[in-house]
Amino acid sequence: MLYPSKPNDEALRVQTLRELNVLDTLPEERFDRVTRLARRLFNVPIALISLVDSDRQWFKSAVGLEASQTPRDMSFCGHAILDDQILMVRDAERDERFQDNPLVTGEPRIRFYAGCPLSVPNGSRLGTLCLIDTQPRDLDDEERALLRDLARMAEQELAAVQMASMDEMTLLSNRRGFEALARHALKACKRLHKPVTLLFFDLDDFKQINDSYGHAEGDGALKTFADALRIAFRESDVIGRLGGDEFVALLTGADSLETSAVMARLREVLDERNASPNRGYDICFSVGQIEYDPKRHAGIEALLADADKAMYLHKQAGKQTH
């Protein structure tokens, strides 16, 4: 059996998937409609919407299959997300990649597989819409086009989920998306005994930017700060916009020196942006920094509340020094 390799954008892909907050959720009619249609149109016993997580494939919709997930190493979909094209396996027993795969030698005894990758706007392939049969078969060009059309339907539903967890202006996670991803990060770090730090940002004098330069300029300031966060923080960190001029970043596995280095990088990036000619104002911020303590913080909500208080104290101290 040939294990699937990892896509080049694996870290971004998994982060994008988890930001959707769709893993381990209940079945939804809008996704089940697609798999039911696929099974009927192609006359196959099994149709799946499979999402490939870091170490498993999980089925958002499964028609004709009892299982809700399988290990990623034995998944056909793990191979399918490596390319934009449909992966078709006409007879798995004759394919050296899959002939000794437990899903072929045991239940559900896969012989035929066709998986069309499901992509989101940032280009990440999160999973597939796939067809499975217990008999060898093939798809002609017209059938391949039909499978792609059905996959686009599934992609539209994923995009709708993504927009519900994304801040449309900055394209960062919104509160819902941030909290969902932060819960995953906290759980993992707690299990591995890794440190976690939450930074709660609030832009200084943001109302004055809106009042003096207009709301379009205020929106531009928010986008600039969001871009600075993306540049300064590590790929593994979770960043989001809670609303208004409030932003958050969750650093996982970072000691105090790494956190200080990230903050120094953020200030450097903002200094560069503030040096732009004709701006007329500087983008400045107050920040609250809290270390995650599982004894004190029952979850991300408690951590956010503590960091919000710390940010407020920092803001008040800054006003007193002006």
Mean pLDDT of 7-27: 92
pLDDT tens digit string along 95-121? 999 999 999 999 999 999 999 999 998
Question: What is the average pLDDT score of the chain?
Answer: 93
Where do we find the tokens 């909500």? 301
Ordered by where they begin, the domains of the chain are 10-164 (3.30.450.40), 175-321 (3.30.70.270)
203: β partners:
285
pLDDT digits (tens, 9 = 90+) for 141-187: 999 999 999 999 999 999 888 888 889 899 898 998 889 888 878 88
Q: What angle do CA 49, 146, 17 make, to 5 degrees?
A: 25
Q: Determine the pLDDT at residue 197.
A: 95
pLDDT at 181: 82
pLDDT attached to residue 59: 98
Position 236 scores a pLDDT of: 77
CA atoms within 13 A of residue 277's CA, in its CB half-sphere: 0
Q: Please determine, for residue 311, whether its predicted confidence score (pLDDT) is greater than 60.
A: yes
Each residue's pLDDT tens digit, 39-71: 999 999 999 999 999 999 999 999 999 999 999
CA 252 – CA 290 distance, rounded (Å): 12
DSSP secondary structure string for all residues of 178-234: HHHHHHHHHHHHHHHT--EEEEEEEETTHHHHHHHH-HHHHHHHHHHHHHHHHHHS-
pLDDT over 90 (residue 1): no
pLDDT at 177: 85
31 pLDDT exceeds 70? yes
Reading the block at residue 36, the tokens are 């039911």
Q: Which two tokens stand for residue 199?
A: 């930074």
Task: Give the pLDDT score at 320.
Answer: 64
Tell me what pLDDT residue 271 has.
95
**pLDDT given at position 104:** 96
d(Cα 138, Cα 193) in Å, to the nearest integer? 49
pLDDT: is 192 or 28 the higher one? Answer: 28
Segment 233-255 shows an average pLDDT of 91
Q: How confident is the model at residue 85 (pLDDT cuts 50, 70, 90)?
A: very high
Task: Report the b/e string of 218-232 with b at 16+ CB within 10 A.
Answer: bebbbebbbebbeeb
